[in-house]
Structure 1
Amino acid sequence: MISKLDLYKVFCEVAKCESFSKGAKALYMTQPAVSQAIMQLEEELEVRLFTRTSRGVTLTNEGKLLFEYANSAINLINVGEEKILESKNVMLGDLKIGVGDAISRYFLLPYLDSFHNQYPNIKLKIVNKTTLELCTMLKSGAIDIAICNFPIEDTTLEIKKCMEVQDVFVCGDKYKSSLSMPLSFEELAKMPLILLDNKSNSRKYVEKYILSKGVKITSEIELGSHDLLLEFARINLGIACVIKEFSQEYFDNGTLFEVTTVEEIPKRNIGFCYSKSVSLSPASKKFVEILES
């Protein structure tokens, strides 16, 4: 008889493949056995999990809800098995790090270099996502550590601050002469603003603070990369909101200029986080030691 855990494994595989036959192939099972397993699970839960179509299957609303939790649980079990194997030898294993685009270039690289020199046999997997996406991946066990823009409000995560950063607005030479005086947030909101995608934690932080002062800012151009913010501002397409510490090269060579505002946006932090419910692997612990040093 198929165990309850095996039923959920079959369910998750069929959901990901959107097909009984493809799921059976991935699981090295026969299609009738897969169909029987799904039928058994549906009978035990007294709900229909899939809608059958001529092109395959799709999850019902109940199926979507179950998949969210079942898939995370199975991922965590797999992570646990990997960590047991890794614990036998800290010199082997994998380290999966989630990080934002700009943070990987301007913050993470020296730490990766140091870690790789000390533990060259540990395989590194770097995933670039937004902070919100990385937090979701942490909780499902898809990554070991996330290096993110703070603040993060999630009691299930252990959060460690590493570096203080300042959000500023910058412009190219076209705007420099007309912006010699400090701008109020009301004046700033009237300018052609270049901002990160609205899912970005950095943008949300800036928008929330300025809104607390009674001013709503909107973007004329939205981008998915900090480097593109700098380049679009450099060629005078508008005024970009960037991280000052990650923009120093542009200030030094005189291609970008900081737009002074009457009131500074409060500094925030960049740091790393990991799940409180999952023990760090030996490789993850070594990397955390390097970050904290």
Structure 2
Amino acid sequence: MVGKLDLYRVFNVVSQNKSFSTAAEELYMTQSAVSQAILKLEKELEVKLFHRTPKGIVMTNEGKVLNDHVNSALGLIHAAEDKISDFKMLKYGELRIGVGDTISRYFLLPYLGDFHAKYPRIKLKILNGTTSEILTFIKSGAADVGICNLPIVDEQLQVTPCKEIHDVFVCGEKYKHIARDTIRFEQLMELPLIFLEKKSNSRLYVERFLNEKGYEVSPAFELGSYDLVSDFARMNLGISCVIREFSEEHLKSGALYEVLLEDEIPGRNIGIVHLKSVPLSRAAEEFVGSIEQRK
């Protein structure tokens, strides 16, 4: 079938023009080449497609039946080519992004807004999950890209850092006296600590840092929502571990106070993640580029 496609295109133009010479001009071929193409198609199909007469050519009954189907098939091909062009121009399509609630709210939203304003007909599908769940979305093909807390080490994945963030401890009005001076880790461990649940990358990163300093974390509260971790500190329920860049509004307003540690927790990154083995779609490529340009 694929080998006959060019022959069918020639046949279609000849049938529309009812002339080999006119078809040859339209196809930028010689009249002889057009005639040979029709003869080849007739031979392969083992039917006569045109009657040659002194007044020109006339389609046979078999030719008319073939022409109806070829017109329909080529119409579908042209429609598909137009659709592909639309996808390339980002007039249509879908972008599937795996991201957690916190990164979505505090980092990704402006990029989503700008992308949607520029390409309003690209459907955005947001898949929420933890970092491990997002990696599963990507590997299963459910998501084109993921925006995750780093570090992530996986040979199958392309990981591109896009924003540096810093984990800090904060408190509310009740505990603000401890924020006046640097405190030792021994003092920190004696306070009611508020952390995200264990499966979060943020929790694992900070806990690993404290373990290296020789301390085991035993939180008073373990929460599933970043906003709750911040809220609990503002309600004076303890000392919360948050991301400084995501808590700037509360820190600037005085609703939260940063607790200074004797050693600052090293910065880490939010990153863009996708499969190395699968090329990004045009929409995903454009979206990733928009984030990288604003780093």
Normalising by structure 2, what TM-score? 0.68
2-side partners of 1:86 and 1:100: how far apart? 31
Structure 1 equivalent of residue 199 of structure 2: 199
Structure 1 equivalent of residue 180 of structure 2: 180
Cα displacement (A) at 1:192? 0.8
The reply on whether 1:139 has 2:139 as its aligned counterpart is yes
Structure 2 equivalent of residue 268 of structure 1: 268
- Give the unaligned 5+ runs of structure 2: 1-83
1-side partners of 2:86 and 2:284: how far apart? 10
Larger Rg: 2
Cα displacement (A) at 1:219? 1.4
Give runs of aligned pairs for residues 115-264 of structure 1, distance below 5 A. 115-264=115-264
2-side partners of 1:252 and 1:179: how far apart? 14
Cα displacement (A) at 1:176? 1.0
Give runs of aligned pairs for residues 30-49 of structure 1, distance below 5 A. none
- Contact 1:86–1:282 (8 Å) recurs in 2: no
Residues paired across the two proteins, number: 211
What is the RMSD computed on CA atoms of the aligned residues? Answer: 1.8
- Residues 3-43 of structure 1: per-residue CA shift (max 9 Å, x gap): xxxxxxxxxxxxxxxxxxxxxxxxxxxxxxxxxxxxxxxxx
CA gap 1:88/1:258 in 2 versus in 1, 3 angstroms? closer
Letter in 2 for 1:211: N
Cα displacement (A) at 1:178? 4.1
Normalising by structure 1, what TM-score? 0.69
Cα displacement (A) at 1:240? 0.4
Other structure's SS at 2:266 match: coil
Q: Runs ≥4 in structure 1, deviation > 6 angstroms?
A: none
Structure 2 equivalent of residue 97 of structure 1: 97
Letter in 2 for 1:167: D
- Residues 216-258 of structure 1: per-residue CA shift (max 9 Å, x gap): 1121111122111111100011110000010011011111100
Cα displacement (A) at 1:105? 1.1
Cα displacement (A) at 1:90? 2.8
- Give the unaligned 5+ runs of structure 1: 1-83
Cα displacement (A) at 1:89? 5.5
2-side partners of 1:182 and 1:100: how far apart? 32
CA gap 1:115/1:178 in 2 versus in 1, 3 angstroms? closer
2-side partners of 1:91 and 1:104: how far apart? 24
Letter in 2 for 1:158: Q
Other structure's SS at 1:94 match: strand
Cα displacement (A) at 1:141? 0.6
